[in-house]
Chains A and B, each alone.
Chain A
Amino acid sequence: MVQYSDGRLDASFAALSDATRRGVLERLGRGDASITDLAGAFRMTLTGMRKHVGVLEQAGLVTSEKVGRVRTCRLGPRRLDVETAWIEAQRRLWDARFDELEQVVAQRRRKEQIDGHPKRG
């Protein structure tokens, strides 16, 4: 089971505050990649990309493994947090939307009662 402690949460969100790092996550969502691949994809030096991957690794969003001379990166266990967060943000959006839909429907029904017949918009 994934552990949620405040320090790790801060690390996740700090890691996500950078557009390149979110791009790296998006890229790794499509498949594993080496540091060299990622540096190429984001037109960045190897050193720069290693730094970004390091931040993502510390947050648990990415894991990497060195085989020979190639370091391969893949999504880490805390990638699930991003999904959890997205799902919850979507739920909040739909919840607010449905509340307003309910009001629109209620207004239409009141208007119907006043007009005495259903009215098409």
Chain B
Amino acid sequence: MDIRSAAEPAATQDRTTIERTSDREVVVTRTIDGPSPRVFEAWTDADLLRQWWVPRSFGLKLLSCEIDARVGGTYRLTFDTGGGEPMAFFGRYLEVTPPTRLVWTNEEGDGGAVVTTATFEEDHGRTRIVVRDRYPSKEALDETIAAGAMNWNDETFDQLDELLVKLGAGTRR
């Protein structure tokens, strides 16, 4: 399934693409302006990460952000979800190779850690970012997808409705 070609036929390679590349892996890519050392720094410095990791438009509030970006070091982010217990994301860094590669685990889920590999490749002052989320099993990714659906709100449903209608328009005839 290639969502981007169906939804945005004219998309350039600079925009964000996402693909489920296997039973247990999802890959996100994007090219942004700026040299890779500056981009890498924004992923490994808590004060910088907190400025962008939670997009303003997503209605989540970042309560805390602790990062020790060394091999074996840990991170912990907590969010206010607008009611109830804060949500925590945490894990450990497996590889820290400035300015090209960062690997960490996400350990908040059941049934094993998700391993995320982010690579940063600079070309003419721009940096291509590839983020690869590898789930412990197909079941773990399927469950994440189903569980993600539980957090959808009315707005999500509206957006999805639009998207599916658009995708459907391409396949119907």
Interface positions, chain A 11-64, Cβ under 8 Å from B, are 13, 16, 19, 22, 25-26, 29-30
Beta-carbon contact of A98 and B150 below 8 Å: no
Decide yes or no whether A97 CB sits under 8 A from chain B: yes
Annotate B91-123 by CB proximity to A: 1 below 8 A, 0 otherwise.
Answer: 000000000000000000000000000000000
- Which B residues have a C-beta under 8 Å from some C-beta of A? 1, 3-4, 7, 15-20, 26, 28, 30, 32-34, 37-39, 41-42, 45, 47-48, 51-58, 129, 131, 139, 142-143, 145-150, 152, 156-157, 159-161, 163-165, 167-169, 171-172
List of B residues within 8 angstroms of A98 by Cβ: 16, 30, 32, 129
> Are A86's CB and B163's CB within 8 A?
no
- A91→B28 CA distance, assembly (Å): 8
**26 residue pairs A–B, Cβ–Cβ below 8 Å:** A2-B171, A3-B172, A6-B165, A22-B149, A30-B142, A83-B1, A86-B145, A87-B19, A89-B152, A90-B26, A90-B28, A91-B4, A94-B16, A94-B28, A94-B30, A96-B55, A96-B58, A97-B52, A100-B55, A101-B42, A104-B42, A105-B32, A105-B38, A106-B33, A106-B34, A121-B47
Interface of B is mostly: helix
A114 within 8 A of B: no
Expressed in whole angstroms, the Cα–Cα distance for A81 and B160 within the complex equals: 9
Contact of B168 among A4, A87, A100 (CB under 8 A): A4
Contact B52 A100 (CB under 8 A): yes
Check if B7 sits within 8 Å of A88, measured CB to CB. Answer: yes
| A67 interface hit (Cβ, 8 Å) | no
Q: Which of A26, A92, A93, A96 touches B146 (beta carbons < 8 Å)?
A: A26
CB nearest neighbor in A for B1:
A84
By a CB distance below 8 angstroms, the chain B residues around A88 are 3, 7, 159-160, 163
A65 at the interface (CB under 8 A from B): no
Query: Given A93-B58, A97-B52, A84 and B34 touching (CB < 8 A)?
Result: no
A120 at the interface (CB under 8 A from B): yes
- Check A95/B41 contact, CB under 8 A, given A26-B143, A104-B51: no
| Distance A102 CA – B131 CA, assembled complex (angstroms) | 16
**CB pair A4 B145 closer than 8 Å:** no
CA distance A81 to B3 in the complex (A): 12
